[in-house]
Structure 1
Amino acid sequence: MSVLLSTDLPFPVFRRGKVRDVYDLGTELLIVATDRISAFDCVMPEGIPDKGRLLTAVASYWFAATEDLVPNHFRGHPGWPAALEAHRKDLAGRAVIVEKTRPLPVECVVRGYLAGSGWKEYQAGGSVCGVALPPGLRLADRLPEPIFTPATKAEEGHDENISFERMAGIVGAELATRLRDLSLALYRRGAELAARKGILLADTKFEFGLSISGELLLIDEALTPDSSRYWLADSWAPGQNPPSLDKQFLRDYLETLPDWNKQPPAPHLPEAVIQGIRARYLDLAGRFGID
């Protein structure tokens, strides 16, 4: 199966992220989701077949399912002007046009269960990002209520979990409160719809930006398996990491490698791991009627 690891389109490059290549169309951006995959802030040498198309379809599903809560930057799938005709095959299903915004310098993370860095932080001090939690919680426990745990957006290196108060110092108290409330509402919508499909939304992150007119928009991606932790509901049991339908499968594999220090260059992935990731992304998309 072929993979798309990079693009070279006849437009100015706005930026190249770990997964997406973004091109400047003036007041809009052309975002192309490649098949690249990253973990621990390192891009793997191999791509995952179909990943970019699946991410685009899942994000489009969630933008539509949450637009009554907050407007988003999605402006549709592109037509095919002459300049893109030669790239039609590569772009089909993985390219979207979005409104250009000024991204806010924070990630809006919501956790409904205790896992990942939140679990490590809780073990160390009984709280996550300054939010005190009840004692005695176990790995993968459902939290009494979803919690908002923001993080910085690092251009290089790892994002840093921060308190709400520190976030308010970065973006202002009024905007921070609005971002928190919107993120919690988005998480609850995602968790509710996911539960109907037999999966638990353990945690997720959202990104927001301000349009040229100053309107707050949900940007980047939403509730995808790259930005969220999804667990199989019928396999969930506190005290252990449940089977997931996201890239935790990749992280778990990388944690078994004794000779990799989580710094570039990333190690090559065995075919079994590549196919395992692909199967999980396909499973998640299929549960929402996406093929």
Structure 2
Amino acid sequence: MRLFRSTLSLISLFAAACCAPAGVIAADAATQNTAQSAVQNAAGSTADNPHANPAEAQAAAEEMTPSSLAGKKPYAGPNPHSALTPEQHITVALRHRTEGRLAQAMDTLDRAIAEFSEDPDLLGVRGSFYLEQGSLTPALADLEKAVRLRPDDASLRVNRSQVYRRFNRPQEALADINKAVELQPDLVAARFNRGVMLYTDGNYQEALADFEHCIAADPHSAGPYLNRGITRDALGDRPGAVEDLTRFLELAKNPAWKERAQQLLDAWNKPEQAGESAAKENS
């Protein structure tokens, strides 16, 4: 079964920002956010870190965030958030992004990286924001530097893999995603995206294994059910595919994706319904 470019295709999970590489439609509801992961990673979990809890890091950042950065009054001054730590800069940037102030989010990260130029979390988050906006060249620059600084970070490799895919560098994309799976076998974004790549290459059985691993790791995430359903159909398991799409419709929040999945499910059910009608007419 070919990917549906105009109706429905495999969802591609991003560790950071949701965007759609060629031939793959991304879904917000299925996205994991590496920027949030970066806050948690930067905050850490050691006893000597006063912001070991991400919620505490958020509160600390908010307490130290000047009102200009919190969107309470126009921006003023040369660098009012220079006292923040890298993880607090990230929290401020995420807050701007969540509230629709993308320009301020990027400005926060630019200023932070000017001060902490070797911080892989800052570089990784800014790279993910660039990726989200489709600015691939700066995204790749940030993510390549971040991976050099922290080569064993699976989420960074997932995001860099997506940039490589957008640049039509499939071997490098697959190498990154394989390394991400090796580093963090239960990272859904890594398994998910590798499954998409394997499916695209016609390796349906291997793709199925990755999607099944995603479901085992996070049974309440909608996206893996859709992709496993499409893969099962490609392998000739239409009943299993119908079951998976039905489960996807129960879990999914994105209305557009639910509509497209329902259309596909209806198309799958039509031959069966036609057969039942013919049988009744002949009885």
TM-score range, shorter chain: under 0.3
If the length of structure 1 is used for normalisation, what is the TM-score?
Answer: 0.27
Normalized per residue, the structure richer in strand is 1
Relative contact order (C-alpha < 8 Å, sep 6+): which is higher?
A: 1
Question: Larger radius of gyration, structure 1 or 2?
Answer: 2
If the length of structure 2 is used for normalisation, what is the TM-score?
Answer: 0.27
